Amino acid sequence: MQKRVLLSWSSGKDSAWTLRTLQRDPGVEVVGLLTSFNQSAGRVAMHAVRRQLVESQAEAAGLPLHAVELPWPCPNGAYEEAMADTLSELRPSFDAVAFGDLFLEDIRAYRESTMGELDIEPMFPLWRLDTGALARDMIAGGLKAIVTCVDPKQCSETVAGRSFDIDMLEQLGDEVDPCGENGEFHTFVTAGPMFSQPIPVKVGDVVCRDGFVFADVVPQSAGADQAGR
């Protein structure tokens, strides 16, 4: 019997490659994507990607999207409560929750603790893979993504809005993790082997807010008046 897996979905490359890895595992059935949204902004928490675009990703993956609605501001207690409520509602439909974490031990320990409290098995399909090799495998495997958020304290802000490709990797510098696992940058995936079709987008405004640099990714069909934040 296949293990039914719900995938924590940020809209970025690590989530997408986790999906690809799970899709290729005959012992697993991915049953849905789980995404946290800033309820007031209608965007992915942290990545600030438009909800419409995440819905397009779920459609391209052929999977239902389950939203965790977060207030803003959102203290950690409110986040944990909203997550627990959503997972409890979905509980009969899945056996485990998968995460795209790569090497941060404290994040993994936190996931294991919170999932343990809910009696849910956590999975980490990409854990401890070499991030330099992984980034190149993603690109070689057909994954296409755009950098949506940059921490300018760790990475050049000029990366915001760029394609996640070999040229970008070579310009990051040795101090930046190639997958941005330390929070240096976040991405939005527009195409790849985990999707049935690409998601047409363009890059809108690039703005600084709350100490980060955000590139607004806009549906290709949207008018110029929608590009602003």
In 3D, which of 145, 109, 117 has the Cα closest to residue 14?
145
Whether residues 25 and 104 fall in one domain: yes
pLDDT at 41 exceeding the cut of 90: no
Whether residues 88 and 46 fall in one domain: yes
3-state helix, strand, coil in the chain (%, to 5): 35, 30, 40
Q: Write down the pTM of the prediction.
A: 0.94
Whether residues 100 and 26 fall in one domain: yes
* Contact between residue 115 and residue 83 where contact means Cβ atoms under 8 Å apart: no
* Contact between residue 158 and residue 213 where contact means Cβ atoms under 8 Å apart: no
CATH code (residue 35): 3.40.50.620
pLDDT at 100 exceeding the cut of 50: yes
* Contact between residue 53 and residue 11 where contact means Cβ atoms under 8 Å apart: yes
Whether residues 7 and 116 fall in one domain: yes
pLDDT digits (tens, 9 = 90+) for 64-92: 999 999 988 888 999 999 999 999 999 99
Residue 137 domain-assigned (yes or no)? no
Whether residues 175 and 116 fall in one domain: no
pLDDT at 48: 84
pLDDT at 126 exceeding the cut of 60: yes
Which domain does 62 fall in, by range?
3-123
Stretch 109-138: mean pLDDT, rounded? Answer: 97
Amino acid at 44: V
CA–CA dist 29, 11 (Å, integer): 19
pLDDT at 124 exceeding the cut of 90: yes
Whether residues 219 and 119 fall in one domain: no
Whether residues 147 and 179 fall in one domain: yes
- Counted domains in the chain: 2
